[in-house]
Amino acid sequence: MTDTMTAEQRHRCMSHIRSKGTKPELKVRRWLWSNGYRYRLNVKSVPGKPDIVMRPYRTAIFVNGCFWHGHEGCCKIPQTNRDFWQAKIRRNRERDAANYRILRENGWQVIVIWECQLTAEHLETTMREVEMLLNSNLLSIYKRHTTLPYPTDEPEALPMAAEE
Ligand SMILES: [Zn+2]
């Protein structure tokens, strides 16, 4: 996931003006679904109303539009009404940060996916990274609940195969 921005990305940052093509959140949902992941949408009982909730993974996923949520170094703020946009985006970012904090304090893992990471070119890589995060979240839940020794924690505690 890179923070350098192409002209194409810069263009898409203005998608708050006219939305075209598949909504970013839908791209994520489709990928998850077709790769066998199940989820819930906009669960109101979970703080911050994440876009996608994966309860078994104790994970909340937010799919953020780069412009509205102020993706750092990604979108340019329009010159016209600059103060207005700056204040608005700052408020959105503060609200996002507060939501993520509440979730984490309640034992949720938070995954933020940016719109610019979901272009045809980047989608697969992004979602494979998301998949790794999901699995690592699942593993940390498993580690908390299992009474079995967890192999990578104490490899020396594992019985060694007898030498021939
Ligand atoms: Zn972005």
Q: What's the average model confidence in pLDDT over 28-57?
A: 92
Whole-number Å distance, alpha carbon 117 to ligand 1 midpoint, is: 7
Whole-number Å distance, alpha carbon 146 to ligand 1 midpoint, is: 39
Number of compact structural domains in the chain: 1
> Is residue 7 assigned to a domain?
no
Whole-number Å distance, alpha carbon 69 to ligand 1 midpoint, is: 9
Whole-number Å distance, alpha carbon 13 to ligand 1 midpoint, is: 7
DSSP 22: S
C-alpha to C-alpha distance for 155 and 164, rounded to whole angstroms: 21
Block residue for tokens 């699995």: 135
Residue 132 structural domain: 23-144
Whole-number Å distance, alpha carbon 115 to ligand 1 midpoint, is: 6
C-alpha to C-alpha distance for 152 and 42, rounded to whole angstroms: 36
Whole-number Å distance, alpha carbon 125 to ligand 1 midpoint, is: 15
SS3 73: coil
SS3 54: strand
Question: What type of residue sits at position 2?
Answer: T
Q: Which of 151, 75, 144 lies closest to 114, judged by CA?
A: 75
pLDDT digits (tens, 9 = 90+) for 127-160: 999 999 999 999 988 888 777 665 555 555 555 5
Q: What's the average model confidence in pLDDT over 67-91?
A: 93
How do 59-64 and 109-114 pair as beta strands?
A: parallel
pTM: 0.78
Least confident of 15-19, 42-46, 69-73, 103-107: 15-19
Is the model's pLDDT at 4 over the cut of 90?
no
On average, the pLDDT of the chain sits at: 84
Residue 135: give its domain's CATH number. Answer: 3.40.960.10
